[in-house]
């Protein structure tokens, strides 16, 4: 089946909802004739009008020529139904309801009307490709092809071979994905495939932080955006996706991997779903929405202080930042008897750090060192523990606010917010790599493009330092006793050997 992707000329897309329309648009724009089919005949006409309008809009913005827009529109072909005669159709892509019985019935019918050489692809986001293929008389003709919404903008697609998919088909479909202008990644036929599996690192840890009442959802989101550089915080993302959808994915991936503790969801989501707090589409989720506009709580300003005290810190970078803002910083090896102490612990609480060094806890606050204290840092995080003198805490807050950076005040806990979020993101990706579910490059590409992270999780861990991530996770595991924080072997081995997280290293096959 050499050069199959180059020979594909006509495809059929079944299901003309948001996802189906997106697939139709990129396929027609790439020169393919596209048949549109839906169980509802009116839906096909509406979809053609919609996609044609998108081509006109792109032409008006100069993103394609008027001639190319007209040619693309001419490639849109309505058919009478999903099971209309399919002579000359090289590929059928279904984008229908996420229901195994519905998809199985559709593909069983397609086997009767499609030539034997027609390839079938399912755009399922959560069902087993192997289970769908098992409904066919010939399961070797089906492969998973999972696009992301909105398809024209999210330029990545997972190619998922089932247990009976022939070896030639996944690379051929990858070539076709490239022809559509998207980046393919090979993903395993496991719960969540690749992107949704890797994405559990952020969401599950954010929910865990919220369940510990360390700070509010908006605080977590601000730290995720301003410290880690994410486009959307985890709770903004839950609201955008819809918690009803995310809750089902969280539960299915966790149960699919037989209650793997790293993927454990939270007790918080089920009652919120039962209450209809889905997010944007219901008008309220972790945020409220008025006329579609997110209502974000205002950040409190630093309170006034009644005393003038110097501060002392164990981090020279923080000392330099504070001094540059006009804050009086002690430079002695140990703090004076009345100085407010700012510690920068990794993977442990401020209380543990203070007690371990013999410093007075009542004058000691924590400041998250993640992201460093250079000019690029957008936010500082202050950790407050129960034994802290309130006035010392206010002095610390004012000192950090003097830098001009926004300050988020959170409850003290092992590892601060940004540390925990990033360590979970990296560790989840490392676990995927360690199980050989996907190649390191595919993991990073899929997550970066599919989730919009500033970099792939393995490259991100490498940038921060695999030893730093291990230190955070081991500190969390030791303090909490929770196995969700056990470091992946992929992570610990490479940290110990000094090998990159982004490379597989030597395997038995290399000895042959």
- In this model, does residue 2 exceed pLDDT 80? no
User: Cα–Cα distance between 108 and 122 in angstroms, integer?
Assistant: 13
162 touches 132 (CB < 8 A): yes
List all residues 6 or more positions away from 263 whose beta carbon is below 8 Å from its beta carbon: 197, 200, 204, 253, 254, 257, 428
pLDDT band at 493, cuts 50/70/90? very high
Q: Respond yes or no on whether the N-terminal peptide bond of residue 150 is cis (omega within 30° of 0).
A: yes
142: its two tokens: 């089906």
Backbone angles phi, psi at 472, to 5 degrees: -65, -50
The percent of the chain in helix, strand and coil, each rounded to the nearest 5, is 45, 15, 40
Please report which helix (H) or strand (E) contains residue 447, including its range. Answer: helix 440-451
- Hey, where are the domains in the chain? 4-189, 311-405
pLDDT, residue 372, reads 77
Question: Where does residue 512 rank: exposed (0-12), middle (13-18), buried (19+ CB within 10 A)?
Answer: exposed
- In this model, does residue 237 exceed pLDDT 90? yes
- In this model, does residue 1 exceed pLDDT 70? no
Q: Give residue-wise pLDDT tens across range 94-136.
A: 999 989 999 999 999 999 999 999 999 999 988 999 999 999 9
350 touches 392 (CB < 8 A): no
The catalytic residues are 125, 146, 158, 196
pLDDT, residue 231, reads 93
Residue located via tokens 């009116």: 42
Question: Among positive and negative, which fits the CA dihedral 57, 60, 62, 65?
Answer: positive
Domain 4-189 bears CATH identifier 3.40.367.20? no
Q: Give residue-wise pLDDT tens across range 62-74.
A: 999 999 999 999 9
Pick the closest to residue 389 from 397, 379, 380 (CA basis).
397
pLDDT, residue 335, reads 95
User: Cα–Cα distance between 233 and 221 in angstroms, integer?
Assistant: 4
DSSP state of 147: E
Q: Give residue-wise pLDDT tens across range 326-375.
A: 999 998 899 999 999 999 999 999 999 999 999 999 999 999 998 778 77
Pick the closest to residue 95 from 132, 125, 123, 127 (CA basis).
123
- Average pLDDT over the chain reads 95
User: Cα–Cα distance between 309 and 339 in angstroms, integer?
Assistant: 6
Q: Give residue-wise pLDDT tens across range 168-189.
A: 999 999 999 999 999 999 999 9
Q: Give residue-wise pLDDT tens across range 6-60.
A: 999 999 999 999 999 999 999 999 999 999 999 998 999 999 999 999 999 999 9
User: Cα–Cα distance between 158 and 147 in angstroms, integer?
Assistant: 7
**DSSP letters for 361-405:** GGGEEEE--TT-SSTT---EEEEE-TTS-HHHHHHHHHHHHTTTS
Angle at 400 between CA 220 and CA 422, to 5 degrees: 30
Burial 50-87 (b: 16+ CB within 10 A, else e): ebbebbeebbeeeebeeeebeebbebbeebeebbeebe
66: its two tokens: 């008027």
Average pLDDT (233-238) is 96
Residue 322 vs residues 313, 318, 331, 388, 404: alpha-carbon distances, Å: 10, 6, 12, 21, 10
495 touches 466 (CB < 8 A): yes
């Amino acid at each position: 089946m050499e050069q199959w992707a180059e020979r594909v000329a006509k495809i059929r897309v079944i299901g003309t909802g948001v996802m189906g329309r997106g697939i139709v648009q990129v396929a027609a724009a790439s020169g393919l004739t596209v048949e549109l089919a839906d169980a509802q005949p009116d839906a096909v006409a509406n979809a053609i009008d919609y996609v044609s309008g998108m081509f006109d809009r792109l032409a008006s913005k100069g993103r394609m020529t008027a001639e190319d827009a007209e040619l693309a529109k001419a490639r849109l072909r309505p058919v009478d139904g999903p099971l209309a005669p399919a002579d000359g159709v090289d590929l059928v892509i279904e984008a229908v309801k996420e229901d195994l019985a519905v998809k199985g019935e559709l593909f069983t019918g397609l086997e009767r009307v499609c030539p034997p050489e027609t390839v079938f692809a399912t755009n399922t986001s959560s069902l087993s490709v192997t289970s769908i293929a098992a409904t066919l008389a010939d399961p070797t003709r089906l492969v998973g092809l999972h696009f992301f919404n909105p398809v024209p903008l999210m330029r990545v697609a997972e190619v998922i071979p089932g247990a009976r998919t022939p070896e030639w088909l996944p690379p051929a479909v990858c070539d076709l994905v490239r022809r559509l202008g998207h980046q393919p990644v090979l993903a395993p036929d496991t719960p969540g495939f690749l992107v949704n599996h890797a994405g559990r690192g952020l969401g599950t840890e954010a929910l865990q932080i919220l369940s510990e009442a360390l700070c509010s959802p908006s605080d977590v989101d601000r730290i995720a955006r301003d410290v880690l550089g994410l486009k959307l915080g985890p709770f903004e993302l839950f609201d955008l996706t819809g918690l009803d959808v995310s809750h089902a994915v969280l539960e299915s991936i966790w149960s699919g991997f037989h209650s793997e503790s790293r993927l454990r969801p939270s007790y918080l989501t089920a009652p919120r779903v039962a209450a209809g707090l889905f997010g944007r589409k219901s008008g309220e989720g972790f945020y409220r929405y008025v006329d579609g506009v997110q209502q974000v709580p205002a950040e409190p300003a630093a309170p006034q202080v009644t005393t003038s005290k110097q501060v002392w810190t164990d981090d020279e970078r923080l000392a330099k930042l504070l001094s540059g803002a006009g804050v009086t910083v002690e430079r002695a090896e140990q703090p004076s008897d009345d100085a407010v102490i700012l510690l920068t612990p990794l993977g442990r609480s401020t209380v543990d750090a203070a007690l371990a060094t013999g410093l007075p806890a009542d004058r000691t606050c924590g400041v998250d060192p993640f992201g460093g204290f250079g000019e690029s840092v957008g936010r500082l995080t202050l950790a407050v523990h129960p034994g802290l003198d309130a006035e010392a805490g206010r002095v610390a807050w004012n000192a950090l606010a003097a830098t001009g950076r926004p300050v988020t005040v959170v409850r003290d806990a092992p590892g601060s917010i940004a540390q925990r979020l990033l360590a979970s993101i990296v560790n989840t990706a490392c676990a995927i790599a360690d199980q050989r579910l996907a190649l390191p490059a595919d993991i990073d590409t899929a997550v970066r493009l599919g989730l919009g992270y500033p970099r792939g999780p393995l490259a991100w861990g490498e940038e921060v330092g695999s030893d730093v991530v291990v230190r955070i996770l081991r500190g969390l595991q030791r303090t909490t006793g929770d196995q969700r924080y056990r470091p992946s072997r992929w992570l610990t081995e490479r940290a110990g050997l000094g090998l990159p997280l982004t490379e597989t290293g030597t395997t038995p096959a290399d000895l042959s």
